[in-house]
Amino acid sequence: MTDTTAEPEVLYAVEDHIATITLNRPHRRNAISVGMLELLGEHFTAADQDRDVRVVVLTGAGKGFCSGLDIKDAMAGTGIGGSGGGGGGGSLQTRTLPTVILQEMDTPVIAAINGAAAGYGLDLALGADLRLMASSAVLLPGFARRGVVPESGGTWYLPRLLGWAKAAEISYLGRDLDAAESERIGLVNRAVPDDALGPLVREWASEIARNAPLAVQAMKRLFRHGQTEDFASHSHHVLLQTMLLFGTKDFQEGLASFVEGRPPEFRGR
């Protein structure tokens, strides 16, 4: 008999303009199943399309952030890469769609790295705009030790985040990175004691949510497009975006609140 009371493998909740997406297989350190890929894609899309959501927090249940694609299921032939779980290189490319959606989202994303992030989980963390990390957590870029490559964005993100040489060092050596080292090299924004991670995530998410959402989303789009544009083309797009923002009620509220010496109340319009 199917247990209809079981919680979904990915949880989704929205409160105070903050969407929290929680990977929810703590007994497997949140290893990614076929169903989780589908849910992740749905939740990323829902958050990005919801005008009430101004920032997304991505985290894991229990003691792990995400241990990667579920190798045990794949070896048993029931998971990603297994004969019974939509295996094979071609289908795996389509099932990495959540990381593509993550990269294309205009809504800012904070990765709250509460535990180990390996494989697909590390790529998910790299796809976030901001990374906050618990001191006991660890990043595991050991792809070379498993005979594979980062299949979901790592080879794209690492050189852009850290430069070619540092990306090569991390990828080719495949050494574990603790929280202190991850912060030192700039791979995460902040590493804090475990009990301080939740409050810090809420502080940053709430502060982002209080800012003008249209402006924040525009910044993220411009950051993304600027990676493939020359300066003149990018400046043109910035000017066009600025003119659009000048016509919003949020811009008028920003000016009015500054003149009146009060906190702004942005509506996303």
Question: Do 132 and 16 belong together in one domain?
Answer: yes
pLDDT at 61 over 90: yes
Question: Do 188 and 233 belong together in one domain?
Answer: no
134 domain residue, yes or no: yes
Mean pLDDT over each residue of the chain, to the nearest integer: 89
Amino acid occupying residue 255: L
pLDDT at 180 over 90: yes
2 domain residue, yes or no: no
pLDDT at 76 over 60: no
Q: Which of 5-9, 144-148, 224-228, 259-263 has the lowest mean pLDDT?
A: 144-148
Q: Is 92 helix (H, G, I), strand (E, B) or coil?
A: helix
Question: Do 76 and 145 belong together in one domain?
Answer: yes
Question: Do 25 and 69 belong together in one domain?
Answer: yes
266 domain residue, yes or no: no
| Residue 256 lies in domain | 211-260
Question: Do 167 and 251 belong together in one domain?
Answer: no
pLDDT band at 80 (very low <50, low <70, confident <90, very high): low
Question: What is residue 145's predicted lDDT score, i.e. its pLDDT?
Answer: 78
pLDDT band at 78 (very low <50, low <70, confident <90, very high): low
Distance of CA 222 to the CA centre of its chain: 18
Gap between the Cα atoms of 139 and 62, Å rounded? 16
Per-residue pLDDT tens digits for 94-118: 544 888 999 999 999 999 999 999 9
Question: What is residue 11's predicted lDDT score, i.e. its pLDDT?
Answer: 97
Q: Which of 69-83, 120-134, 213-227 has the lowest mean pLDDT?
A: 69-83
Which residues, listed in sequence order, are joined to residue 56 by a DSSP beta bridge? 19, 109
Question: Do 78 and 119 belong together in one domain?
Answer: yes
- Residue whose entry in the numeric block shows the structure tokens 């289908």: 91
3-state secondary structure string across 80-135:
CCCCCCCCCHHHHHHHCHHHHHHHHCCCCEEEEECCCEECHHHHHHHHCCEEEEEC
Gap between the Cα atoms of 253 and 251, Å rounded? 5
**Boundary of a domain, candidates 170, 191, 209:** 209
Question: Do 167 and 218 belong together in one domain?
Answer: no
119 domain residue, yes or no: yes
Question: Do 193 and 228 belong together in one domain?
Answer: no
Pairing of strands 109-113, 117-118: unpaired
Closest CA to 215 of 110, 100, 108, 101: 108
As a whole number, mean pLDDT of residues 184-210 equals: 98
Angle between helix 213-226 and 231-246 (nearest 10): 170
Percent of the chain surpassing pLDDT 90: 78
pLDDT band at 200 (very low <50, low <70, confident <90, very high): very high
Q: What is the CATH number of the domain that holds 44?
A: 3.90.226.10
267 domain residue, yes or no: no
pLDDT at 147 over 90: no
Percent of the chain surpassing pLDDT 70: 88
Q: Which of 35-39, 80-84, 85-89, 223-227 has the lowest mean pLDDT?
A: 85-89
265 domain residue, yes or no: no
Question: Do 175 and 223 belong together in one domain?
Answer: no
Q: What is the CATH number of the domain that holds 233?
A: 1.10.12
Closest CA to 17 of 245, 191, 248, 266: 266
Gap between the Cα atoms of 197 and 60, Å rounded? 13
Question: Do 70 and 185 belong together in one domain?
Answer: yes
4 domain residue, yes or no: no
Gap between the Cα atoms of 32 and 34, Å rounded? 7
57 and 115 Cβ atoms separated by less than 8 Å: no
Question: Do 123 and 202 belong together in one domain?
Answer: yes
pLDDT at 86 over 90: no
As a whole number, mean pLDDT of residues 211-233 equals: 95
Question: Do 151 and 233 belong together in one domain?
Answer: no
Question: What is residue 144's predicted lDDT score, i.e. its pLDDT?
Answer: 76
Question: What is residue 148's predicted lDDT score, i.e. its pLDDT?
Answer: 78
Amino acid occupying residue 171: S
How many domains does the structure of the chain reveal?
2
Per-residue pLDDT tens digits for 158-177: 999 999 999 999 999 999 99
CA angle 50, 53, 55 (to 5 degrees): 135
CA angle 72, 76, 82 (to 5 degrees): 95
What is the chain's alpha carbon radius of gyration, rounded to the nearest angstrom? 20
268 domain residue, yes or no: no
120 and 32 Cβ atoms separated by less than 8 Å: yes
Question: What is residue 95's predicted lDDT score, i.e. its pLDDT?
Answer: 46
Distance of CA 104 to the CA centre of its chain: 11
